[in-house]
Amino acid sequence: MQFSYSKRLNFIADFISPCTTLADIGTDHAYVPIRLIKTGKIKYAIACDINKGPLNRSMENISRYDLGSYIQTRLSDGMSKLKYGEADTVLIAGMGAQLMMRILDGGEEIRDSINEYVLSPQSEWREFRIYLDKNGYSIKDEGMVYDQGKYYLVIKASAVSVKQSKMHETCKSNVNLCTYQKNLCSEYNIPDISLFGEASDIDEAYRHFGYYLIKKNNAVLKEYLKKENLTMPKKTANLNILSGAQQLKMEFWNDYSDTAIQKAINGEPMILLEEMVTRLETITSVSDAYIIIHDKDTKKVWVPEKKTYIENLKSLHVHFLFKFSKGATFAELVDVLGIESQFIEKPKSGRYSYDNKLSYLIHAKDGDKFLYSPSEVHTLVGEDFQNIYNVRRISWEQGRAKKTSSRAGSNIEKLIIDITSGKIKKKDVLHDPNLFEIYIFNKSKVNEAFDIYSEYKAMKTLEDIENGLFTKSTIFIKGASGLGKTTFAKKIAKELKKLAIANGEYWDSVITAATNPFDEVQSQELLILDDVRGNATTASDWLKLTDKYNISALSARFKNKGGNVKTIIITSPHHPLQFFFESKNGFREDPSQFIRRINHLVVIDKGSSGESTYKVAMPERKQNPVIRQIPNHENKIALDYDFSRAEEMKHEDLLTFIVETIRLNNQWNISYEEYKKTITENSTDQSENGDSQT
């Protein structure tokens, strides 16, 4: 079977340089990797997609050509599942510019290992080119193709360590824009039309239409311009507002006095502001002038060794804002200021444009940024900033709340995906300020996502236990108050979760209340019923919960919870016989049923030295029923199962014994002793490395 490749896909495939491994992000049908493998242009490919449906289609197509050994499929949100050094080339095509920007931002940790990016945004071409330039990507080539009534842009880029700036300075000698414009008008008989504007607007022309497309007189670009009748204004409008930011380093302030920069570094930016205003007033009249030092801004930095992001302080920098009674062009203002244009911002249109610029000086409307004091803003010309803040404080706080709400709404989908894939637990949401912010505005959606994930885990857990992949474990810890039974239960849970990770599973735990113990249960694998009483639920529910070979829903006040529990730890001051007998309708049930479901009975007592002692017993089947009296009751009962004689063990030995029992019940390959040995060896290695470095 042969695939019918569109003109667009063929063009993209041809645009990709020969390489060893291609990562196709948003692969859909995997058509491009298949074509490149078959033609020998690449040796290997990783086809990534965020959705299972397209990925399944990709797998089908790969199988048709028997290319499973050459193309690996991977469920991935952008480049999140792509490892450092896995790919030489990254292809991102068939999606909007904003989504592509987000994907590129998310691939920062692997950026240095990618030789080439082939990018085909379906919208916002100008904004996408600006993004690449500002974020350290160098455009190496561009192409355009027309397919099925649409024009498609394809960019070839590479990541560079230093941002490319003032691109037009190096390009003016290579292309005569005015000549190109004239030729276009002549060729298409278009009188009195300016496609690009005056030569002073050449930088903007490159942003709109691409330096390489202009340089090569790209035929498809010509068609696009003619069809869309695209024009740019010959005259650039004068600006009345200008803002920007710049690091406080000498090399970024051309021809400024060292004294002004040093004073600003020392926390006194007024002299620097005065010098900036002096320069501006050679071409215009400044009515407002403000400056503030930002020394508490942070940015997220990827740490490969830790495989996570950390918050680092940004370099010391200033933010400045000017308003003019007499305007000037952007180019003129940038020229007299002597600051590179990428660090200067034009105002956006709208009645709140200047208000937003004022508020941004202190991040008054930006809840995700550090909030500076209005007293830190220095005023040279215009109304004192403190007075402005006093008048606008309430509206700025309202704006901050709206931005927070909007940000929470825009991030909810990513959080839901992370929840339903098991990456994020409820405690993560409550402890992380950014996630909690989303939760505040989307509580019902977040809780619904946890419920959905719980349902999925319940189904998977039931399937696993029915297929014999694990048996449920129950540990009963008896002891009086103050002897450490809760502490011991928590220690077991802590070590179990570590061992689970070592064996490729990620367990979560919950400690329940003594009454209504199942209300807080979500999708946790490990359930600690702390100081619970038997009458907290019915005997029938206790038997269902502790059944080693079955999973059932847990009875809660508001709604029954999905049964995902693989290990139960019960702490109680009562013996299991009393515990079960005092459950609702417990006197009607045979306690032997409950006893045989308990893997280990741990009894904690107070020794002669005052320290806690630990004994452990296990259920045994009796050839003949034994008669036992229910503790603290007159009732006697015949038992088919009873606990063995309790054996005293040391705390650490008992911990190992219990964890290993649960490990075997879950069929994990790595034992607890092996895990502890690995941890010890790693700690020793780190210590030795540290000693050698000092």
CB 518 within 8 A of CB 558: no
Round to whole Å and give the CA distance between 650 and 613: 8
Look at residue 494 in the predicted model and tell me its pLDDT. Answer: 94
Distance of CA 680 to the CA centre of its chain: 31
Mean pLDDT of 407-436: 80
Helix (H, G, I), strand (E, B) or coil at 344: strand
Measured between alpha carbons, how far is 522 from 527 in angstroms, rounded to an integer? 10
Compute CA 243 distance to the chain's CA centroid, rounded to the nearest angstrom: 31
3-state secondary structure of 379: strand
b (16+ CB within 10 A) / e for 294-303:
bbebeeeeee
CA 302 to chain centre: 12
DSSP conformational letter for 554: B
The residue written with tokens 């885990």 in the block is 457
* Model confidence pTM above 0.85: no
The 10 Å CB-count burial string (b at 16+, else e) for 590-615 is: ebbbbbbbbbbbbbbeeeeeeebbbb
Tell me the sheet residues that pair with 247.
317
**What does the DSSP 8-state code read for residue 297?**
-
If you search the block for the tokens 């003129």, which residue do you land on?
A: 332
Four-residue CA torsion sign, 645, 649, 655, 656: negative
Q: What is the pLDDT of residue 203?
A: 66
pLDDT at residue number 678: 84
Task: Kindly state the tokens that stand for 116.
Answer: 């080439």
The answer to whether residues 30 and 62 touch, using CB atoms and an 8 Å cutoff, is yes
- Separation of alpha carbons 457 and 524, rounded Å: 9
CA 415 – CA 435 distance, rounded (Å): 8
Average pLDDT over residues 354-363: 94
| pLDDT score of 115 | 93
Query: What SS3 state is found at 364?
Result: coil
- 645 vs 173, which has greater pLDDT? 645
| Residues 129-139: tens digit of each pLDDT | 989 988 889 99
451: how many CB neighbours lie within 10 A of its CB?
Answer: 16
Identity of the amino acid at 680: T
pLDDT confidence of residue 376: 97
What pairing do the DSSP bridges indicate for beta strands 647-649 and 317-328? unpaired
Tokens of 97: 């510019």
The CA-based diameter of the chain, rounded to the nearest angstrom, is 110
Burial of 363 (0-12, 13-18, 19+ CB in 10 A): buried
Residues 6 or more apart whose CB falls under 8 angstroms from that of 487 comprise none
pLDDT at 516: 64
Question: In the numeric block, which tokens belong to residue 225?
Answer: 């311009």
The answer to whether 242 touches 168, Cβ cutoff 8 Å, is no
Residues 599 and 355: their CA atoms lie apart, in Å, by: 68
Q: What is the pLDDT of residue 194?
A: 46
Which two tokens mark 114?
């990618």
Report how far residue 215's alpha carbon sits from residue 465's, in angstroms, rounded to the nearest whole number: 66
DSSP assignments along 567-586, one per residue: EEEEEESS-HHHHHHTSBTG
Decide: helix, strand or coil at residue 643. strand
SS3 of 496, please? helix
Upper half-sphere CA count for residue 55 (Cβ side, 13 Å)? 14
549-566 residues labelled b (16+ CB within 10 A) or e (exposed): eebbebbeeeeebbbbbb
Query: DSSP 3-state assignment of 20?
Result: strand
pLDDT tens, residue by residue, 67-99: 999 999 999 999 999 999 899 999 999 888 989
* CA gap 576, 574 in Å, rounded: 6
pLDDT in the model for residue 628: 92
Q: Please tell me the distance from the alpha carbon of residue 364 to that of residue 374, in angstroms, as a whole number.
A: 9
Token pair belonging to 107: 């691939």
Bigger pLDDT: 165 vs 96: 96
List C-alpha distances in Å: 252 to 247, 337, 586.
7, 11, 79
Band of residue 276 on the pLDDT scale cut at 50, 70, 90: very high
Of all residues in the chain, what percent carry a pLDDT higher than 90? 49
pLDDT higher than 50, residue 658: yes
- The mean pLDDT value for 48-63 works out to 91
Instruction: Answer whether 493's CB lies under 8 Å from 689's CB.
Output: no
The pLDDT mean for the chain works out to 84
Distance CA 50, CA 417 (A): 10
Within a 10 A sphere around the Cβ of 218, how many other Cβ atoms? 18
In sequence order, the β-bridge partners of residue 49 are 75
Provide the β-strand partners of residue 216.
none
Q: Which amino acid is at 309?
A: Y
- pLDDT (tens digit, 9 = 90+) per residue, 209-265? 888 888 888 889 888 887 766 544 444 578 999 999 999 999 999 889 999 999 999
Residue spans of alpha helices (H) in 144-269: 167-171, 177-188, 202-209, 211-215, 219-228, 258-265
Query: What whole-number distance in Å separates Cα of residue 269 and Cα of residue 638?
Result: 88
Strand partners, 118: 91, 156
The per-residue pLDDT for range 425-446, each reduced to its tens digit, is 888 888 887 788 788 888 888 8
CA distance 257 to 37: 59
CA–CA separation, 294 and 624 (whole Å): 81
Sign for the CA dihedral angle at 416, 422, 423, 424 comes to positive
- Three-state secondary structure of 172-205: CCCCCHHHHHHHHHHHHCCCCCCCCCCHHHHHHH
Task: Give me the phi and psi of 54, to 5 degrees please.
Answer: -60, -35
**Model pLDDT for residues 529-580, shown as the tens digit of each residue:** 998 888 888 898 899 889 998 887 665 544 445 568 899 999 999 999 999 9
